[in-house]
Amino acid sequence: MKTFYFIILLLFGPVLSADESVLHWAADAESGAPNVFYEDGNLSKLVGFEKDIMDHIAKHLGRRAEFHQNDWDSLISGLQRGLYDVVINGFSPEEGKESSIIFSDPYYACGLSLIVRADTNKIKSILDCNEAVVGVLRSSKAESTLMSSLKNVKVIGYPNEYCAISDLKDKRVDAILLDGQVAAYYTKKLSGLKIIDEVDEIKYSIVSTSNNSKLMAAINDAIEHMKRDGALDALVSKWDICNTFYVQLRETSGKSKMNPPCLNSESSQRNNQEIIKYLQAFPFFMKAACVTLMISILAMCVAIVLGLCLAIMRVYMPKWISFLAISTIEFLRGIPLLIQLFFVFYGLPCIGITLPPLVAGILTLGMNYAAYEAENFRAGMVAVPYGQMEAARALGMNQWQSLRHVILPQAFTFVLPPLTNDFIAILKDSSLVSLITIVELTKTYMLIASNSFNFFGMGAIVAIIYFLIGLPFAQLAKLAEKHLKLEKRAYSSRKIGRRYR
């Protein structure tokens, strides 16, 4: 019973936990330094310049700040869906074109820095990128700046900064254009890179929806308060991200000109050079593995139940019901799982159907795989000789009793191997739910590896965990096959075949 309540809390917790005393804010902590990131890949230590800003704002509003992880591409979609109150992740008012979102007063400003490999001499400024391949963060100010200023540049958009930096080091792109403080952070952490040019200006603002105008007014008041009492300057100094653009922003905002102390302060020394210990990451991987396993098991249960219903409808129901089942199977099987996931999570709220992330992920995976399970069950039922159904009906059973007591038990013996295979597949496809704010095993790996700069070692651990999760189910399936004497039946058929040769 406790397990049942725990699952219900996980599934419906996001809906039941609405509390006005909490300020829900979202960002993408994957390679998000120095704005929002997990220090040394420790998922219990969320730090960053913008994280500190949200703590100050929440304190000013008399609320408790609560962080929500979401991919960069989905932050605004999640905001419009009502998953959180505000988004803070280096967004510029110039990037917002929709009337449904509003921006706060700017709290930070920086330039866009062009990064190249240290051994590169062909590119000395952004003008030299006209025939080059340049990486940027997708849907960012850097992308629009490149597209508008250079005609022949080839721009490649990335979901996060670390992917762009990795491609630059691997010589897949010629340069990357990132926000100034982000570029400075990663060029210090990673060798072989250098900043050669700084262009344009970008101002950072907090984003919310237009129906949260009162909250945004309170946030603007909090930002102004931070500017007046020096808290904002102190944070800029703490994270060593002061620049001329920020100084100009401070001089043009507020009622008086101020000289931010960050210009005269020494850079704070932060010990981020140690590689994260594997034992430190292990508890987070185990927690994420439990989430992955729970999603996979529940989704597989949905797939089996729905797939069995579709198979029965297709094989034993009237033609019009059979046609409906076939259409459903082909529809679910013909659309990519990722499209279905986004449609259920972000599309259905447009017609008033809002599902929590876990529920949306489980239902989408279950419905998608139900199409495949329907075909497995249909193959199993067709493999049972039709005389079995006739014999059952001759003994006085109705159709449902014949299916339940005669056909399905025999069909299950044929279906068990492909069911096991599909569960392994659904276990791996569950990684897609990370795109709808669920932090499962794959997303945990990306969060830890991108902030600890250790994709190889952490990737090996995650691969082993996935293998160990799926292995027991494969062994259980073999035991079930032995119990059902499938192997003995196969051996007997081979022996009879040799006898008649």
State the DSSP string of 389-428: HHHHHHTT--HHHHIIIIIHHHHHHHHHHHHHHHHHHHHH
Q: Which of 493, 312, 278 is nearest to 403 (CA)?
A: 312
Q: Is the peptide bond before 349 cis (omega within 30 degrees of 0)?
A: no
Last residue of some domain: 160, 175, 202? Answer: 202
| Pair (321, 225) in one structural domain | no
The pLDDT value given to residue 500: 39
Q: What is the mean pLDDT of residues 485-501?
A: 47
DSSP state of 257: -
- Encoded tokens for 362: 């489980």
Whether 268 maps to a domain, the answer reads no
More confident residue, 238 or 271: 238
More confident residue, 395 or 379: 379
Whether 9 maps to a domain, the answer reads no
| Pair (91, 120) in one structural domain | no
Q: Which of 320, 426, 317 is nearest to 371 (CA)?
A: 426
At 494, the pLDDT band (50, 70, 90 cuts) reads very low
Give pLDDT tens digits for 428-483: 999 999 888 888 998 888 888 877 667 788 888 899 999 999 888 877 777 766 76
How many Å apart are CA 325 and CA 158, to the nearest integer? 40
How many Å apart are CA 209 and CA 79, to the nearest integer? 7
Q: What is the CA radius of gyration of the chain?
A: 28
* Secondary structure element (H or E) that encloses residue 250, with its range: helix 244-252
How many Å apart are CA 490 and CA 486, to the nearest integer? 6
Q: Give 77's contacts (C-beta < 8 A, 6+ positions apart).
A: 346
More confident residue, 219 or 200: 219
Kindly report the average pLDDT of the chain as a whole number. Answer: 82
Strands 133-137 and 154-158, by their bridges, are: parallel
Residue 339 φ/ψ, nearest 5 degrees? -65, -45
| Pair (66, 168) in one structural domain | no
How many Å apart are CA 29 and CA 52, to the nearest integer? 14
More confident residue, 286 or 399: 286
Whether 121 maps to a domain, the answer reads yes
Whether 271 maps to a domain, the answer reads no
Is residue 17 a contact partner of residue 431, using CB atoms and an 8 Å limit?
no
Q: Which domain holds residue 85?
A: 22-102+209-263
| Pair (213, 336) in one structural domain | no
Whether 307 maps to a domain, the answer reads yes
Q: Largest Cα–Cα distance in the chain?
A: 101
CA 310-315-318 angle, to 5 degrees, is 95
Mapped onto helix, strand or coil, the DSSP state of residue 90 is strand
Whether 460 maps to a domain, the answer reads yes
Is residue 230 a contact partner of residue 206, using CB atoms and an 8 Å limit?
no
- pTM metric for this prediction: 0.77
State the DSSP string of 281-345.
Answer: HHHHHHHHHHHHHHHHHHHHHHHHHHHHHHHHHHHHS-HHHHHHHHHHHHHHHHS-HHHHHHIII
Q: Which of 202, 205, 170 is nearest to 183 (CA)?
A: 202
Burial of 464 (0-12, 13-18, 19+ CB in 10 A): exposed
Q: What is the mean pLDDT of residues 5-12?
A: 48
CA 161 from centre of chain: 15
| Pair (224, 369) in one structural domain | no
How many Å apart are CA 241 and CA 311, to the nearest integer? 61
| Pair (431, 449) in one structural domain | yes
| Pair (188, 223) in one structural domain | no
Is residue 85 a contact partner of residue 208, using CB atoms and an 8 Å limit?
yes
Last residue of some domain: 164, 186, 202? Answer: 202
Strands 175-179 and 133-137, by their bridges, are: parallel
Q: What is the CATH number of the domain that holds 310?
A: 1.10.3720.10
The pLDDT value given to residue 275: 43
Give pLDDT tens digits for 249-285: 888 765 444 455 554 444 343 333 344 457 778 888 9
Whether 15 maps to a domain, the answer reads no
Q: What is the CATH number of the domain that holds 256?
A: 3.40.190.10
Residue 45 φ/ψ, nearest 5 degrees? -125, 80
| Pair (363, 467) in one structural domain | yes
| Pair (67, 191) in one structural domain | no
pLDDT(148) > 50: yes
Number of domains forming the structure of the chain: 3
Residue 362 φ/ψ, nearest 5 degrees? -65, -45
pLDDT(239) > 80: yes
CA 446 from centre of chain: 9
| Pair (305, 406) in one structural domain | yes
CB 241: neighbour CB atoms within 10 A? 22
Give pLDDT tens digits for 60-83: 999 999 999 998 888 888 998 889
| Pair (187, 323) in one structural domain | no
* Secondary structure element (H or E) that encloses residue 487, with its range: helix 486-499
Last residue of some domain: 187, 202, 217? Answer: 202
| Pair (394, 489) in one structural domain | yes
The pLDDT value given to residue 449: 80
* Secondary structure element (H or E) that encloses residue 204, with its range: strand 193-209
Mapped onto helix, strand or coil, the DSSP state of residue 109 is strand
- Encoded tokens for 21: 């005393």
Residue 213 vs residues 27, 82, 207, 219: alpha-carbon distances, Å? 20, 14, 11, 10
The pLDDT value given to residue 219: 95
Whether 272 maps to a domain, the answer reads no
